[in-house]
A and B are shown apart, each in its own frame.
Chain A
Amino acid sequence: DTEVTQTPKHLVMGMTNKKSLKCEQHMGHRAMYWYKQKAKKPPELMFVYSYEKLSINESVPSRFSPECPNSSLLNLHLHALQPEDSALYLCASSHEGHTTDTQYFGPGTRLTVL
């Protein structure tokens, strides 16, 4: 099974809402990633968890709060977002988080902030 699943597929939220994005993999990978991708732009790395510990935080605003409950799950909690945060949020996983690992991407959650 080389699949990374993400829920929900689409999310519309207001600027005062609190919501969460979920990501799951059952490949036994120990590293998981969150990316943000705006239309016609490349993915931008947001966070990396390695062995359930946050190893990279690319200066992301605190209105995005990642959580890694266990090695198979990765959440992204959203609060007080801005319209410019509307984007495709991609989750990925890799074997151990080494730079030479292959990253497997999920289908993404398309987020719209009103």
Chain B
Amino acid sequence: GQQVMQIPQYQHVQEGEDFTTYCNSSTTLSNIQWYKQRPGGHPVFLIQLVKSGEVKKQKRLTFQFGEAKKNSSLHITATQTTDVGTYFCAGWEYSGAGSYQLTFGKGTKLSVIP
């Protein structure tokens, strides 16, 4: 079955430093989505990548989708305390007969030291 690995599991950064989390799938993904979950909160959709090699930016956040559509990354420039939370990638894989399987990565928990 599909496996989606996400590293690192935890990341502690000083405010102002950059942060990157990586997602790797064992199979080719149809598309990948990124979510942020604040402590005690629920996942909030950030962005979706569909095309091979796609790069999207949202202010200080940069998202990339690999050429083979098996890996993705989220990079935050100059982290702020408001960036604290767990970042999840979620990949949809076509599993045949018109069906798709959704798998979340284990998440990267970001702590920002003021």
Total residues of chain B contacting the partner, CB 8 A: 20
C-alpha gap A98/B92 in the complex (Å): 10
CB-based contact A99/B100 at 8 Å = yes
Complex-state Cα separation, A44 to B42, whole angstroms: 13
* Chain A interface main SS type: loop
CB distance from A8 to the nearest CB of B (A): 15
Residue numbers of B with Cβ under 8 A of A are 30-31, 33, 41-45, 48, 50, 88, 90, 92, 99-100, 102, 104-107
Q: In the complex, what residues of A have CB within 8 A of residue B102's CB?
A: 45, 99
Of the listed stretches A14-22, A62-70, A101-109, name the one at the interface; the rest are far from the partner chain. Answer: A101-109
Q: Jot down 26 A-B pairs with beta carbons below 8 A, ordered by A.
A: A41-B107, A42-B88, A42-B90, A42-B104, A42-B106, A42-B107, A43-B43, A43-B88, A45-B102, A56-B99, A90-B42, A99-B31, A99-B100, A100-B31, A102-B33, A102-B45, A102-B48, A103-B33, A103-B45, A104-B45, A105-B42, A105-B44, A105-B45, A107-B41, A107-B42, A108-B42
Where chain B touches its partner, the secondary structure class is: strand
Which residues from A are CB-within-8-Å of B41?
Answer: 107
